[in-house]
């Protein structure tokens, strides 16, 4: 756990950091003495895996706490049993840590169920909450519309005694699911529909992952979330713009329960394992991270998995954090994206290419180089002896000597990329042609003397000669030729499964459905292509999640689940440059 910084220490933290409007509010609150320390939280519901949209919320809440010497809690909003699973809880914890953050406290909304229940009893006793018998359909009818006010429920004026009796019987499990709700008594004519007597509790006789069958009633999100923030001493409750209209209800719940002025309630807070540090949290909204060619609906992500469009929640085509991790995206690259996008109140869609460029930028500096061939074509150097083999020394990174060097085997027979040879070259071609020359990376200049074809007329082999004077350290090493190609030794290379990934959708707004087609019709059939190629031996020895730049091909990662040295599996993270528009 973090130690509590003094007000002076907190106020001087992060003076040179980002200057978005939320951080400016935090700076002003520290400078004025409103808060001695900053306390934020990240409160996901464990009903699915986190996606790219959550990355922004994680980086903001945890990042602000870190920058200003404060704390950030990870709180699992487990108020909706039946849809939640311990597997998702573990996944959330893994993803937060993978992004580079650690929480001050790990809490669950279910830790506070007793507090929520006692707070609801207080609201009933204060005459600002009542038990309603309207069905869900009737409640929607009574609620009104954006242009028409709602109507009071016929049960709104029940006495305090009757409401207390009914609510306690709800708690005892006496009534059927959906037959009664506890509602706040606010204003059915309010212009903000969220204040038209919103539900605070509903009956759900469903086993809960943490509390089992102890509770047949469960608090609604707005009620539980606001009180959890207050109990945990959250100073700045950061959430996305769709909660802006919920802020008056958030404040109503905090003010009406008024935890700090009710010792009995605070005793239940302490019993839940929290220090008695009452707070009046401030909710601040910011725009979501919306990426083109992506969806962030948990329901739709689950549909992709259930209907077999992808191979699971961690499929590298998915924009879940698990999928992005398996794809080989880096935490630093995602954090760079969040930093570049910035924090604002203006909703917008960020081009997917910006994400790819952030990943490239990180990998350009951090990924060692290796050689591999996706679509192999045999090249035989005829003026080398049969069985010729030698070892060459290559740098692991052309711009950073600290990466060191490696040994690369070279032999008479090589694999090159099939696309690096053209029998009839297009205009501007700089690679190998019949009778033409090209430089083999790190070796020297070869000339294509003969093209060998199979019975079907397909090119099966190139027979070339190596200019011995063009090898490193010899007088002809500086001789100019138009192109340089990469290779691997056919004698020493290791067979590998190379999974070439691209964007999951082939339109920028897949769930808009403005073309009359279902959103699933926009799944890109070319988003995954499996090829069986060859890689140099040093690449095969990679640890899981080791990332490389396969020269001229792109950035690849050793698959975190299936890669083995004797059966390598690599996923393409991203191309060397943006080729999507082309």
Binding-site residues from annotation for ATP: 45-47, 51-57, 240, 288-289
Task: State whether the Cα torsion 391-397-399-405 is positive or negative.
Answer: negative
Residue corresponding to tokens 């690369």? 408
Active site residue 340: no
- 578 Cβ contact list (under 8 Å, min separation 6): 353, 356, 357
Q: Which of 295, 330, 292 is closest to 309 using CA atoms?
A: 295
Q: How far apart are CA 321 and CA 314, in angstroms?
A: 8
Q: Return the structure tokens found at 416.
A: 């090159």
Name the burial class of residue 413, with classes exposed (0-12), middle (13-18) and buried (19+) by CB atoms within 10 angstroms of its CB.
Answer: middle
Q: Are strands 488-489 and 376-381 parallel, antiparallel or unpaired?
A: unpaired
Please answer whether residues 556 and 328 qualify as being in contact, where contact means their C-beta atoms are separated by less than 8 angstroms. yes
Calculate the CA dihedral of residues 34, 36, 42, 43 and round it to 10 degrees: -70
**264 catalytically annotated:** no
DSSP structural state of residue 567: B
Backbone φ and ψ of 177, nearest 5°: -55, 135
CA distance 466 to 448: 9
Residue tagged active-site, from 93, 204, 288, 418: 288
Q: Where are the beta strands (DSSP E) in 266-373?
A: 282-286, 290-291, 349-350, 369-370, 372-373
Binding-site positions read 45-47, 51-57, 77, 221, 240, 288-289
Residue 384, Cβ neighbours under 10 Å: how many?
17
Residues 6+ apart with CB under 8 A from 444: 466, 467, 468, 470, 471, 472, 476, 477
From 489, 544, 547, select the one nearest 372 (Cα to Cα).
489
Q: Tell me the angle at which helices 160-171 and 113-125 cross, rounded to the nearest 10 degrees.
A: 160
Selecting among 45, 361, 461, 497, the annotated active-site residue is: 45
Token pair of 386 as six digits = 């049969």
**DSSP secondary structure string for all residues of 32-68:** TTS-SS-EEEE---SSS--BHHHHHHHHHHHHHHHHT
Please give the distance of CA 43 from its chain centroid, rounded to a whole number. Answer: 15
d(CA 95, CA 569): 23
Of 298, 322, 327, 370, which residue is the catalytic one?
A: 298
Query: Is there a catalytic annotation at residue 280?
Result: no
Asked if 118 contacts 231 with a C-beta cutoff of 8 angstroms, the reply is no
Q: Are 182 and 199 contacting, i.e. CB atoms less than 8 angstroms apart? A: yes
Q: Report the alpha-carbon distance of residue 98 to residue 493 in Å, rounded.
A: 33
Tokens encoding 460: 């099966």
Catalytic residues: 45, 288, 298
């Amino acid at each position: 756990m973090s130690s509590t910084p003094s007000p002076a220490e907190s106020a001087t933290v992060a003076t040179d950091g980002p200057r978005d409007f939320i951080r400016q509010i935090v700076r002003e609150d520290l400078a004025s003495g409103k808060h001695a320390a900053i306390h934020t939280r990240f409160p996901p519901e464990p009903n699915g895996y986190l996606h790219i949209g959550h990355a922004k919320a994680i980086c903001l809440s945890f990042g602000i706490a870190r920058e200003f010497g404060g704390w950030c809690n990870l709180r699992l909003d487990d108020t909706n049993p039946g849809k939640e699973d311990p597997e998702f809880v573990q996944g959330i914890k893994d993803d937060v840590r993978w992004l580079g953050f650690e929480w001050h406290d790990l809490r669950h909304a279910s830790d506070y169920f007793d507090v929520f229940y006692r707070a609801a009893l207080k609201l009933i006793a204060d005459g600002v909450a009542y038990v309603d018998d309207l069905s869900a359909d009737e409640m929607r009818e009574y609620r009104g519309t954006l242009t028409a006010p709602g109507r009071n429920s016929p049960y709104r004026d029940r006495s305090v005694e009757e409401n207390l009796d009914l609510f306690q019987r709800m708690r005892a499990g006496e009534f059927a699911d959906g037959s009664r709700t506890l509602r706040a008594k606010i204003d059915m004519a309010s212009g903000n529909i969220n204040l038209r007597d919103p539900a605070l509790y509903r009956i759900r006789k469903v086993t809960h992952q943490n509390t089992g069958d102890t509770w047949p009633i469960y608090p609604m999100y707005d009620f539980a979330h606001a009180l959890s923030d207050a109990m945990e001493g959250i100073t700045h409750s950061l959430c996305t713009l769709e909660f802006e209209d919920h802020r008056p209800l958030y404040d109503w719940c905090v003010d009406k329960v008024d935890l700090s002025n009710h010792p009995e309630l605070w005793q239940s807070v302490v019993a839940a394992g929290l220090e008695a540090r009452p707070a009046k949290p401030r909710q601040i909204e910011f725009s979501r991270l919306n990426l083109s060619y992506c969806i962030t609906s948990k329901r739709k992500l689950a549909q992709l998995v259930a209907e077999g469009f992808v191979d699971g929640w961690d499929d590298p085509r998915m924009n879940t954090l698990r999928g992005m991790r398996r794809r080989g995206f880096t935490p630093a690259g995602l954090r760079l994206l969040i930093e570049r996008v910035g924090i604002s109140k203006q909703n917008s869609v960020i081009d997917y290419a910006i994400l790819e460029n952030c990943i490239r930028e990180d990998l350009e500096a951090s990924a060692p180089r290796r050689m591999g061939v996706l679509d192999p074509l045999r090249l035989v150097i005829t003026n080398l002896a049969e069985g010729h083999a030698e070892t060459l020394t290559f740098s692991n990174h052309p711009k950073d000597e600290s990466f060191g060097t490696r040994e690369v085997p070279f032999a008479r027979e090589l694999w090159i990329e099939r696309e690096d040879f053209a029998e009839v070259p297009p205009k501007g071609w700089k690679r190998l042609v019949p009778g033409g020359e090209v430089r083999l990376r790190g070796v020297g200049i070869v000339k294509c003397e003969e093209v060998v074809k199979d019975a079907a007329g397909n090119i099966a082999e190139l027979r070339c000669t190596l200019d011995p004077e063009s090898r490193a350290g010899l007088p002809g090493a500086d001789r100019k030729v138009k192109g340089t190609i990469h290779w691997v030794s056919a004698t020493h290379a290791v067979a590998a499964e190379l999974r070439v990934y691209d964007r999951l959708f082939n339109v920028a707004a897949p769930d808009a459905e403005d073309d009359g087609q279902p959103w699933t019709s926009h799944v890109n059939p070319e988003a995954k292509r499996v090829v069986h190629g060859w890689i140099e031996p040093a690449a095969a020895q990679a640890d899981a999640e080791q990332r490389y730049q396969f020269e001229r091909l792109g950035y690849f990662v050793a698959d975190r689940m299936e890669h083995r040295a004797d059966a390598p599996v690599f996923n393409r993270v991203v191309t060397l440059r943006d080729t999507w528009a082309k």
